[in-house]
């Protein structure tokens, strides 16, 4: 194996950090092994299930495929950032209230994608929700409840915006 340690510097959940990596390390390797963050998880290992979703410079990527080296200079957010101020984000609260998970292993990915959806489309239709979340898999199949949760979060966020 080609040993070539590189130092990367990036912003992780709002904090400036650095990590020494090998060129083949994935984002998940670094999150797990360097920063003990376990919310993004490897499942299918092919970027097809969404369990490993993290946000890099505002874009969702598959942490199991995305190389850690590419994080250098980037802004990275994981599920652990959603309640950074100690308060659950409305999408997190909506997932609890709607019962939108069973085992919870896929939940981080669904939360980050749902948050991103609502940021770009505050009032999505059911078809838009399904389309946007079609890259995330839930083997417990809590899909109907996930759709309910996104609608609930959308309603609550919009109410706050309108000052209701």
Partner 1 sequence: MTRIDSEARQWTQIGKSRPRLEGRSKVTGQAEYIHNLSLPGMLHAKILRSTVAHGRIVSINTEHALALPGVHAVVTSEDVLRVIPDPYFGPAFHDQPILAIGKVRYVGEPVAVVLARDPYIAEEALHLIEVDYDEMPAVFNEVEAATSDVYVHDALRPAGTFPDLKHLAGRKNTNISLDFRVRTGDVDKAFSEADHVFEHTFTTQQVMHTPLEPMVTLAELTGTGMTVHTASQSPSFVRLEVARLLGWKESQVRVKTAFLGGGFGAKLYIKLEALAAALALIARKPVRVALTMEEQFYTITKHATTFRIKTAVTREGRITGRKCEVWWNGGAYADIGPRVTQKSGFTAAGPYDIENVWIDSHQVYTNLPPAGAFRGFGITQMVWAYESQADIIAKELNIDAVEFRRINLLRDGRPHATGTIMKDAGLEQTLECVARRMAWDQPFDQGTGTLRRGRGIGIGYKALVAPTTSVAIVSLSADGSCFVHCGTVDMGQGSDTLLAMIAAEVLGLDPEKVRVVHPDTDVTPYDMATLGSRSTFHMGHAVRLAAEDALQKMRGLAHELGMDPEAKLDAAKVLVARYGMQAGNIVGVGSFIPQYISPDKETGQSTNITPNWMIGATGVEVEVDTETGKFRVLRMENVGELGTPLNPKVVQTQLSGAAIMQLGAVLYEEMDFDDDGQLRNASFAEYKIPGMNDLPAQMHTEIVTAYQQNGPYGAKGVGETGCYGVASAIASAIDHAVGVRLTSLPIKYETLCRALHGSAPHFQSESQ
Residues that bind partner 1 (CB under 8 A): 1, 24, 32-33, 37-46, 48-49, 51, 78-80, 82-83, 88, 92-93, 95-97, 99, 101-108, 111, 129-131, 133-147
Cα dist from 34 to 3, 43, 68, 111, whole Å: 17, 20, 11, 23
> Is the torsion defined by CA of 121, 97, 36, 49 positive or negative?
negative
- CB 118, min distance to partner 1, A: 15
Give the residue with the Cβ less far from partner 1, 61 or 146.
Answer: 146
Number of C-beta neighbours around residue 143 at 10 A: 16
- CB 40, min distance to partner 1, A: 8
Give the residue with the Cβ less far from partner 1, 85 or 164.
Answer: 85
Chain-centroid distance of CA 44 in Å reads: 16
Nearest to 129 by CA among 164, 100, 103: 100
- CB 142, min distance to partner 1, A: 6
Give the residue with the Cβ less far from partner 1, 66 or 143.
Answer: 143
- CB 123, min distance to partner 1, A: 18
Q: Which residues contact 75 (CB under 8 A, 6 or more apart)?
A: 10, 11, 56, 57, 58
Give the residue with the Cβ less far from partner 1, 75 or 80.
Answer: 80
């Amino acid at each position: 194996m080609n040993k070539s340690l590189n130092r990367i510097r990036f912003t992780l959940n709002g904090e400036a950090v650095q990590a020494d990596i090998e060129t083949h390390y994935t984002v998940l390797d670094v999150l797990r092994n360097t920063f003990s963050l376990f919310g993004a998880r490897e499942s299918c290992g092919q970027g097809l299930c969404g369990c490993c979703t993290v946000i890099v410079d505002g874009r969702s990527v598959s942490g199991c495929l995305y190389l850690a080296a590419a994080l250098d200079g980037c802004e990275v957010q994981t599920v652990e950032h959603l309640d950074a101020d100690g308060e659950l984000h409305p999408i997190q609260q909506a997932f609890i209230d709607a019962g939108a998970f069973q085992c919870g292993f896929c939940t981080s990915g669904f939360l980050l994608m749902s948050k991103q959806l609502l940021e770009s489309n505050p009032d999505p239709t059911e078809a838009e929700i399904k389309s946007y979340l079609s890259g995330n898999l839930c083997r417990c199949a809590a899909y109907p409840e996930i759709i309910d949760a996104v609608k609930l979060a959308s309603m609550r966020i919009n109410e706050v915006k309108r000052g209701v």
